[in-house]
Amino acid sequence: MMNCLVCKSGDMKPATESYFANLNNCYVIIENVPCYKCDQCGETVFSASVMERIDDILEHLEKVASKIFIVNYSSAA
């Protein structure tokens, strides 16, 4: 069981969260990103492997960038 680093009292439970990013010329919303969420204060934490995958997704999208992207974490490139 992981304790929340922010409020120190909550438990971090598996959840999904939308991830927002602002690239050079577009906004990206990645939906359903797996994370851990504090059951007390709502703080969310993404694991290192999830952050790596988010970086990959953003790098890919930046190459085909338009204005706004909304992608699903589990079905993104």
Shortest reach from residue 6's CB to Zn ion, in Å: 5
The residue among 11 and 55 lying less far from Zn ion, judged by its C-beta, is 11
State the residues that interact with Zn ion by CB under 5 A.
Answer: 4, 6-7, 10, 38, 40-41, 43
The residue among 2 and 29 lying less far from Zn ion, judged by its C-beta, is 2
Q: Which two tokens stand for residue 77?
A: 């490139």
Residue type, 28: V
Q: Which candidate, 17, 16, 12, 15, places its Cα nearest to that of 1? A: 12
The residue among 32 and 40 lying less far from Zn ion, judged by its C-beta, is 40
Q: Which residues pair with 28 in a beta bridge?
A: 21, 69
